[in-house]
Structure 1
Amino acid sequence: MINQSKTSDTHFCFESSNTSCPKYIYSTAVRASLYILLGAVIIMTVFGNLLVIITIAQMKQLHTPTNFLVLSLAVADFLLGAMVMPPSMVRSLETCWYLGNVFCRIHSSTDVMLCCASILNLLLISIDRYYAVCQPLHYHTRVTNCVTVIMILTFWSLSAFILFGMMLFNMSTRNAEDIYRNSFQCEGSCSVLQSRMSSVISSVLGFFTPALVIIVLYLKILVIARRQACSIQRGFPLHSTSVKATHIFISELIDVACQL
């Protein structure tokens, strides 16, 4: 795409540059519709999570371990909606990146860290629900506000560590990245060259491993919930600890849904 000939039928991100990326122009109706749709999604993401943050932060009766985890997840999603999604929307619809190489790196790095933080918070919520249902007698002694805050800070630090690890591994490919930028990358694109090692490590630590643990934990919760539902249908007494835990779990889910 470098030094490509310009014709009257071809549009480019920077018409005055010989190294500009080609630009695809959507029709006015399609572009306006997509801007309205994606803009509405961004607004709902930002203000919906902001409402959760304000509600939990201001109401002391909501300062419970589960709600702290919901608060941490809302912060991650709020930052994604406010910092990552708007530039991504413009890049997708304009098919060009006009914010410069420095902000491209900042945007890509922030995207990776916040996505990792979001899925790690989902992992914390699944662990919290597992203890509430499967070990109800030890839940209130093991899962306290202090322990929850420490775990939240640890997982946010892990997200930053994954990002730092990616940057560290990518330093070894800096020469290759410079060659790629000078020879192949056109002006108006936003792409970050990653080494294979950094891609594998970030994918495994930031997505596949947490997703696998979340699936296993919720399958375990589902098995116990179905077992207790069968016990209820067969007429067993409801005073057993595991049955009470199931009822507590269901009521807490309803409370969280009402808060959201």
Structure 2
Amino acid sequence: MAITPLKIRSFLYMFIGSTVSILIIAGNILVITSIIYFKQLHTPTNYLILSLATADLLVGALVLQFNMALNLRSCFFFGDLVCKMRRCFDVTLMTTSILNLCCISIDRYYAVCQPLKYKCKITVHVVVIMILVSWTVSSLLGFGMVFVGLKHIVCEGRCLIFRIPNSNIVGPVVSFYFPVITMLCIYLKIFLVAQRQVRSIQTTKSGIAVIKMERKATKTLAIVMGVFLFCWTPFFLSITFNPVTNYSVPSPLIETLVWLGWSNSMFNPFVYGFFYSWFRSAFRIIISGKIFYGNFTNSKLL
């Protein structure tokens, strides 16, 4: 039986997709397990990271699996419902990620700009409300866009065509552009305040250590946001300007940009492991299997 270019393309597609999916699932399970297991990581900021990691995990476990199934059989085989469900999960989880990043930026704002009010403003109760609101709004937007608002999903081959009419840009604005502008403004404010703190620092050694620790955490989480923007901005720009150019953006390019966006879910665990020493310590303990042979919940992660 001859091996056609289509078969080679499908094999490479499945191989890359499976690899990315496995890395997403494994990396985010590490993050989730670390935060749940180690008491040192039970902080409001890390609960937001836990919510973000859960969304990333579901991208690998649901969205990519749907997409690879559609690649093998096409959406004509599965029907329009599966095509829409894939899009629902995609929009919901992407929106959840960016709303969680928004919440993290608010957390960092109080930690750096108003440190004396941080513990009374950003409590576990407040963070739980932030997480619930993020997931609820994202679910309503994701399922509402596909089943009620947007009826322009066209099933072509592998169910990759997502057409947004000129009159309906509410989805991208709510789920991407507005949160992005909000986060950029917040991090700009944090940067300016941090610069003033450096110039006029007059405090104890312990106070200096706390300020440095908060700034490092803010820098790391800003990098997480930067990676998110790097991965998702090209896709949103393409679907925003596609209607203006009479849908001239080719489907393979949109498909590639979608994969770039999904790959963001794979990068975050590497960022945490690279910049956070306590996450590195937690990852080592989990990967080595020590948690199965002893109680390390109260371990001091360096």
TM normalised by structure 2 equals: 0.62
Say which of 157, 174, 182 aligns to 1:205. Answer: 174
Q: Give the aligned partner of residue 45 of structure 2.
A: 66
For 1:44 and 1:108, the matched residues in 2 are separated by: 22
Is the contact made by 2:45 and 2:104 (CA closer than 8 Å) also made in structure 1? yes
1:147 aligns with 2:129: no
Are 2:211 and 1:246 aligned? yes
Q: Could you tell me which residue of structure 2 aligns to residue 133 of structure 1?
A: 112
Indicate how the Cα distance of structure 1 residues 62 and 50 shifts in structure 2: closer, same or farther if over 3 A, else same: same
Aligned pairs, number? 220
Q: 2:277 & 2:212 partners in 1: Cα distance?
A: 12
Alignment-mate amino acid for residue 15 of structure 2: I
Aligned runs of 1:12-161 on 2, under 5 Å?
A: 25-26=5-6, 28=8, 31-89=10-68, 91=70, 96-97=74-75, 98-161=77-140
Q: Return the letter of the residue paired with 2:148.
A: L
Aligned counterpart for 1:221 among listed residues 178, 190, 193: 190
**Bigger Cα displacement from structure 2, 57-66 vs 143-152:** 57-66
Q: Quick one: distance in 1 between partners of 2:158 and 2:135?
A: 32
Change in Cα spacing, 1:164 to 1:85, as seen in structure 2 (3 Å) is closer
Deviation at 1:162, TM superposition (A): 1.4
Residues 132, 245 of structure 1: 8 Å contact kept: no
Matched residues in 1 for 2:25 and 2:69: separation? 17
TM norm structure 1: 0.71
Larger Rg: 1
Q: CA RMSD in A?
A: 3.2
Percent identity between the two aligned chains: 34
CA distance in 1, matches of 2:204, 2:277: 22
- Aligned-pair CA distance for 1:51: 1.3
Deviations 1:48-70 (A, max 9, x none): 11111122122233221001000
Alpha-carbon distance change, 32 to 103 in structure 1, aligned in 2, over 3 angstroms: closer
**Structure 1 unaligned spans of 5+:** 1-23
